[in-house]
A and B are shown apart, each in its own frame.
Chain A
Amino acid sequence: MRGHLPPIFTNATGFLPLLPLEVIARRLLSNAMAARPSFAARLGEYAGRTFAIDPVDCPFVFLIKPEGGRTDLKVVRRSVAQGYDARIAAPLVVLIGMIDGTYDGDALFFSRDLMIEGDTEAVLALRNAIENAELDPSTVLGLPKSLQGPVNRGTRMLFVQLRRLLDAPEETGPNSGAFA
């Protein structure tokens, strides 16, 4: 897998409490779900599954159950992560790149930059629902329209540099510069 954060980050954050991260993550997920009400419908019967989103270069795992309007999210240490139906694992910047459409999930899987286990059907449903959601940073942050353009552009530039610095897989998404 390419694009790992430096081990010093993992070591340094391993001691931090997870509650603040969980509060922030819940808020971001809530913003995304509110902005994309069709997300749960596209997930269909798989909305009731629990997904472990595992940033392998971080000392924690997100456990998400995106059921209807009462989405549940927990942040737990990797060593105690259990009770999930499917696990999607990759470095953090790669997982974020899948959410914003920078990366194609299949291509990441083919190149072994992404690992899945458990309920493959649920993973595919989640991947397809995320693809259709067309999430961008400003939507996830719940920002007003006037700030969306500058924030999305700024965040994009930041991640382009970060992915380059971390030697992450090459970007191929609709916003990539490959054919600009």
Chain B
Amino acid sequence: MTTPLELVCPAGTPAGLKTAVDAGAHSVYCGYRDETNARNFPGLNFDRAEMKEAVTYAHDHGTKILIALNTFMRAGSTDLWKRGVDDAVAAGADALILADVGLVEYARKAHPKQRLHLSVQAAAATPEAIAFYRDRFGIARVVLPRVLTVEEIARLTAHAAPCETEVFVFGGLCVMAEGRCMLSSYATGKSPNMTGVCSPPSHVSYREESDALVACVGGFTVERFERGEPAGYPTLCKGRFEAQGAVSHLFEDPVSLNAVELLPRLAEIGVTAFKIEGRQRGRAYISTVVRAFRKAIDAMAAGDKVDFDELRALTEGQRETTGAYKKAWR
């Protein structure tokens, strides 16, 4: 390993950020409280003053702040996103995480020295796409989609250099090509791409029905959890439907990604940063997961082994997968 590995951790609130920093995050990603970031949930995210304080707290503790402005600008109304870029730079962000190619162009021109990362929302999954962003805009790191195998990541990482690669290693698993998925838009009129919310809570409802928990999105019933069965947040891609007489998850089970066992291999192939999903999660989740992964990274460097059973309780559906990384995924 030549480059030090970076643990990139989520924070949806100033308290969450403090927790992540204290738990050992090398860097923390977060966003403003508006449509510019892909976790635009009620009560979540940072106002301008909170972001400045967050940057100060993180820097005082040797942690970097990556500010996500990773939705796509609205045609004819781009000021919100551009102002977000300007404010993030002024706040002292170590990097901006961007998805919209127009916003990348703006950020590069307006702030030539600012470090820029390419969000997973940009869905850059080919050597050509990454090379374009790297050569044209000086993108320093690309966050790879969660639909690639480890060997595909190895080839992309080799092609991307000197652009770094970052991969998700834990948390909710988006099973689609992010930034291109329209399922949430279809069901609710809102999507992570434009408004920053997948399966917006305004369109989610639960009801108890004969001891079962029934979950709906935009009026569509997408899941029925029987008594004692672990539940999940309802999204169309992880719903369980009846089709041609059979009931099954048509796309994927509501399981959580846990690629901890793959960390050594991912480090070996040159991945620079390991990302934990979950800006919408609480301090209990952040502290547990961040400490565990930091411990793993430190142990890996020392050649020790770490037990990760305690992470299972925090996973969606209480079950885990290595996702597409090992192609065990359907």
Contact = CB atoms under 8 A, between A and B. Distances in A.
Contacts, number: 132
Interface string B200-216: 11101111100001000
B273 to A, nearest CB: 22
Contact of B288 (A120, A124, A179): A179
B316 A110 contact: yes
Interface stretch (B37-45, B100-108, B144-152): B37-45
B287 A173 contact: yes
Interface string A35-52: 000000011101000000
A111 B15 contact: no
Contact of B310 (A42, A103, A178): A178
Interface residues of A, number: 42
Contacts of A132: 13-16, 43
A74 interface: no
A138 B13 CA distance: 22
A115 to B, nearest CB: 7
A134 B15 contact: yes
Given A112-B230, A120-B206, A170-B313, A128 B284 contact: no
Nearest to B202: A121
B280 interface: yes
A128 B41 contact: yes
A128 B43 contact: yes
B204 A120 contact: yes
Nearest to A102: B284
Chain B CB within 10 Å, residue with most, of A123, A124, A127: A124
Contacts of B43: 42-44, 46, 124-129, 132
Interface string A96-121: 00100111111101111001110011
Interface string A45-69: 0100000000000000000000000
B251 to A, nearest CB: 19
Contacts of B16: 131-132
Given A104-B282, A129-B43, 8 more contacts: A42-B13, A98-B282, A104-B281, A106-B281, A106-B314, A110-B316, A121-B200, A134-B15
